[in-house]
Structure 1
Amino acid sequence: MTDAAPAPGPAEHALTQQGADARAQKRLRRRYRAEKRFRLYGLLAITVAVAFLALLLGRIIEQGHTAFYTHSISLPVYVDPERVDAANPALANYDLMIAEQALARAGIVDDEYRSRASAYRALFSTSMGFELLDRVRADPSLIGQTITMTAPVGANADLYLKGKISRDTPPEERSLTDQQIDWVEAARQEGAIRGHFNSAFFTRSDSTQPELAGVLGAVVGSALMLLVTACLAIPMGVFAAVYLEEFAPRNRITDLIEVNINNLAAVPSIVYGLLGVAVFINWMALPRSSPLVGGLVLALMALPTVIIATRSALKAVPPSIREAALAMGASRTQAVFHHVLPLAMPGVMTGAIIAMAHALGETAPLLLIGMVSFVPGIPEAVTAPSSALPVLVFIWENASERAFHERTAAAILVLLGFMIVMNAAAIVLRRHFERRW
């Protein structure tokens, strides 16, 4: 037999305890350092995200804020009886007449008078000539009189007045000649040109002329499209989620349905556009490029998101709510619709607003169903041809005229404002439906 090892003495025990304490302190310091690093990484991530967001918004605001103010030009126009026929006033070239009279007042009458008048016409919008025609048609007694006409300045002249076109730029690289710039400066010094808020940007629809283009038609089209989407996707999504979560039996069929719903939420949006073309336009013969078709396509996209969000909100309601309602004699349907669903409504509304905001920003499916077409008017019904804000941004950004680019950024700001309004509505609805237990 071997002798048992002697028990450690007090000194050895103290040394062992000190070593354990040192190791524990070392591990504790390491955990503290890891926690500090984690917090630092979190702050760094937030800082980077905020910096990129500020950069994005700053760039959009910098490029688009100038579209919210514009310049107008006011010119006296003599309605020349020799050029305007009272019987058929539409035969007159009002734009050329206005330009020639402006040059004559400036004392410019030479061999190049006609070509100079054509160059001067580019300094004001063609809406001035159309407005003058409408006034003469309404009141033929204006023929032979001098009246003052006001219209937006031309797009390139407006860019010059905003400082986006410089005289220092070589003439072949800018859209205004030195002579046109001189005319603009002379008109500004005479007080014929004034700057003001661009209210027409919010009251007009799309146009081929940048100075006349506005977002009202696209805003109304987006609103009608979202109305169709909300009326279809939200009720259908909520009822489907309630059935799957509260009433459907747990079997292979429901499992297959749940898997497919989750997969549909990840399907690329352009696939829904192809489905909309095949089903709603080719098969059902619904009107192309209408808010009705756009709303149906976006409803298909939003439906999986609404179902998933509603099911998550229903799962978050404590089981005790259901049990208490059933214990008091309520039926299963009464327990769900009188107690469970009202408590889950804040989450349901959040999911619905997220789905609507996602649908608002979609462009690819709308391009496929024809909403990329130029639509100058304002839609009066869900079946009328229309555009949408994301599509309008796409069209303007691809336009060749430089003045459309600032309006592109301004339309993005309007789209962001639209989404902010939707989120604000979601917050209000959440607070209205919120209940505490």
Structure 2
Amino acid sequence: MQAHVSQNYLKKRAGRDKRFIAFSYAAILLAGAFLVFFFVDIVHSAWPAFEQAELRVEVNYNDQARKMGDNALDENVSYLVSRGFTRLIPNLLREDPSLLGTSEDKWVLADSEVDQYLKGKPNRLRKAERQLVDTMRAEGRARLAFNKGFFLNGDSKLPEMAGIWAAAVGSLYVLIITLAFSFPLGVATAIYLEEFAPDNRLMQVVEVNINNLAAIPSILFGLLGLSIFINFMGVPRSSALVGGLTLSLMTLPVIIISTRAAILAIPDSIREGALALGATRWQMVITNILPLSLPGILTGTIIGLARAIGETAPLMIVGMMAYIPEAPDGFTSAATVLPAQIYTWSSDSMRAFTERTSAGIIVLLAVMLLMNGAAIYLRNKYETKW
């Protein structure tokens, strides 16, 4: 009887194990399916943004073009050409008066509605305009070319002119500020807490609060940055400096926690050996602890920066959601960042901005994956096995 009960129990337990394994595989497959669907959808939506419609038209640099660029084009095609191009013609004539009275046949940027039509997407072109575009395409005067402007231009109200250059430069400036302030302060704090701080109630409170800061919503850091850096210290609003300082507050707990974990992973025998040879505690930290823990420190720092580059909420609070068509020329100039640029495009009503939103997400994901890949590479290459 007892053997029979044991057999039944073992069968039930084996059945539970099989069901658990099946549920685990199902969960992994479901998560993988969602991830694949996400990437396929984003790439499918973003791919058209890397191509831009161009028209080959004759540009006449006449007297009327000095006042209005539209007068330099044939009236039948002027409304198909981007206003971003026609607005530049008067400036070209002022900069180079020798162009006056000449003409040239050149490829120019097409309007966003023409661009959408050539890509087979919904557009607002009239029937006659579509027929004209079809005629130009048949004659080899309309094409889809690689969209260099997406990488070289700043933001624009015209979707065919909009690019990520200004946001990319702003993101770089913000990351430099974030790294410059959070890395040395975070590493120094972690070293003090692990190697020098006394084990008392005050230090325990500090450690608990550091762990709590790593988990609070990021928008609260934006409110803190607004109060301290803008209202109290007078740092310029919407600048890369205030954005970097705000993200430094958010990244600091991550660097402290990862640095402490890297230091804790070093065996006590390393410390005891250095101290036994006559090294002071500070010399032991500089010559033994810090070099051995550097791979873990760098990994945590890069992961913290990768999280910071994708943040939008704290930067909205400090004014970095502004329309910035030109790249910042310094840390105190008005700037925006890639996540803010993507959010701005996503809220625009024009259809052409939808594909640029997805393309911006692709660029941001690529940067974050590269940073996380670099963190994994550094950890695997330089990590010491004890």
Given that residues 371 and 387 in structure 1 are in contact (C-alpha distance below 8 angstroms), is that contact kept between their aligned partners in structure 2? yes
Alignment match, 1:245: 194
Residue identity in the other structure for 2:85: M
Matched, 1:267 2:216: yes
Q: What does residue range 158-307 of structure 1 map to in structure 2 within 5 Å?
A: 158-165=115-122, 174-307=123-256
CA-based RMSD: 1.9
CA distance in 1, matches of 2:74, 2:231: 50
Q: State the SS of the aligned residue for 2:80.
A: coil
Please, which of 114, 117, 125 is the counterpart of residue 82 of structure 2?
A: 125
CA distance in 1, matches of 2:338, 2:100: 42
* Identity, % of aligned positions: 43
CA distance in 1, matches of 2:299, 2:209: 22
Please, which of 44, 54, 69 is the counterpart of residue 94 of structure 1?
A: 69
Residue identity in the other structure for 1:412: I
Shift of 1:278: 1.6
Q: State the SS of the aligned residue for 2:334.
A: coil
CA distance in 1, matches of 2:71, 2:140: 22
Alignment match, 1:427: 376
TM-score by length of 1: 0.83
* Between 62-71 and 422-431, the greater mean CA deviation after superposition: 422-431
Please, which of 325, 330, 336 is the counterpart of residue 279 of structure 2?
A: 330
Residue identity in the other structure for 2:92: R
Q: State the SS of the aligned residue for 2:55.
A: strand
Q: What does residue range 33-52 of structure 1 map to in structure 2 within 5 Å?
A: 33-52=15-34
Q: State the SS of the aligned residue for 1:122.
A: helix
Alignment match, 2:114: 157
Shift of 1:206: 0.6
CA distance in 2, matches of 1:99, 1:280: 54
CA distance in 1, matches of 2:139, 2:202: 79
TM-score by length of 2: 0.94
Q: What does residue range 55-66 of structure 1 map to in structure 2 within 5 Å?
A: 55-66=37-48
CA distance in 1, matches of 2:308, 2:11: 50
Residue identity in the other structure for 2:27: A
Residue identity in the other structure for 1:73: L
* Count of equivalent residues: 386
Given that residues 225 and 292 in structure 1 are in contact (C-alpha distance below 8 angstroms), is that contact kept between their aligned partners in structure 2? yes
Superposed CA offset, 1:97-128 (max 9, x none):
4142xx3xxxxxxxxxxxxxxxx533111233
Please, which of 44, 52, 68 is the counterpart of residue 50 of structure 2?
A: 68
Shift of 1:374: 0.5
Question: For residues 33 and 322 of structure 1, do their structure 2 counterparts lie closer, same or farther at Cα, with a shift above 3 Å needed?
Answer: farther
User: 5+ unaligned residues in a row in structure 2: which ranges?
Assistant: none
Given that residues 127 and 151 in structure 1 are in contact (C-alpha distance below 8 angstroms), is that contact kept between their aligned partners in structure 2? no
Q: State the SS of the aligned residue for 1:73.
A: strand
The structure with more radius of gyration: 1
CA distance in 2, matches of 1:99, 1:386: 38
Alignment match, 2:339: 390
User: 5+ unaligned residues in a row in structure 1: which ranges?
Assistant: 1-18, 104-119, 166-173
Given that residues 69 and 88 in structure 2 are in contact (C-alpha distance below 8 angstroms), is that contact kept between their aligned partners in structure 1? no
CA distance in 1, matches of 2:277, 2:6: 55
Matched, 1:79 2:36: no
CA distance in 1, matches of 2:293, 2:8: 47
Shift of 1:271: 1.4
Question: For residues 45 and 342 of structure 1, do their structure 2 counterparts lie closer, same or farther at Cα, with a shift above 3 Å needed?
Answer: farther
CA distance in 1, matches of 2:180, 2:38: 33
CA distance in 2, matches of 1:270, 1:261: 17
Given that residues 95 and 128 in structure 1 are in contact (C-alpha distance below 8 angstroms), is that contact kept between their aligned partners in structure 2? no
Shift of 1:216: 0.9
Q: State the SS of the aligned residue for 1:75.
A: strand
Superposed CA offset, 1:127-186 (max 9, x none):
332343343234333332221243211111101100112xxxxxxxx5211121112112
Given that residues 290 and 386 in structure 1 are in contact (C-alpha distance below 8 angstroms), is that contact kept between their aligned partners in structure 2? yes
Question: For residues 77 and 121 of structure 1, do their structure 2 counterparts lie closer, same or farther at Cα, with a shift above 3 Å needed?
Answer: closer
* Between 130-139 and 295-304, the greater mean CA deviation after superposition: 130-139
Given that residues 167 and 341 in structure 2 are in contact (C-alpha distance below 8 angstroms), is that contact kept between their aligned partners in structure 1? yes
Alignment match, 2:323: 374
Shift of 1:416: 0.5
CA distance in 2, matches of 1:121, 1:221: 35
Q: What does residue range 109-148 of structure 1 map to in structure 2 within 5 Å?
A: 120-148=77-105
Matched, 1:341 2:290: yes
Given that residues 205 and 376 in structure 1 are in contact (C-alpha distance below 8 angstroms), is that contact kept between their aligned partners in structure 2? yes
